[in-house]
Amino acid sequence: MTFKKAVAVGTILANMVVPLCAKNYEAGLETEIENKYHVDLIGDFQKKEVKNIDEVMKTIDSMIDRKENGIEEITLANVDAHDERLRDGDGYASATVADGSIIYMSTAAIYGKAFDKNPLADYKGLLAHEIGHLIYEHLDKEKIFSDFIEFNWKRDLKKESAVPDGYVTAHPLERDFIWVRDNEDVADDFSYIINKKHYADKDPVVQKKMNAVKGYLKMRGK
pLDDT of the residue at 173: 87
**H helix or E strand, kind and range, residue 185:** helix 178-194
CA 122, CA 125: separation in Å to the nearest integer? 5
Q: Report CA Rg, the chain.
A: 17
What are φ and ψ of residue 176, in 5° steps? -85, -30
The amino acid at residue 8 is A
The model's pLDDT over 14-31, given as tens digits with 9 standing for 90+, comes to 444 444 343 444 546 678
The model's pLDDT over 56-112, given as tens digits with 9 standing for 90+, comes to 999 999 999 999 999 999 999 998 878 888 865 466 889 988 778 999 998 877 766
Helices 47-63 and 29-37 sit at what angle, rounded to 10 degrees?
10
93-96 and 102-105 beta bridge pairing: antiparallel
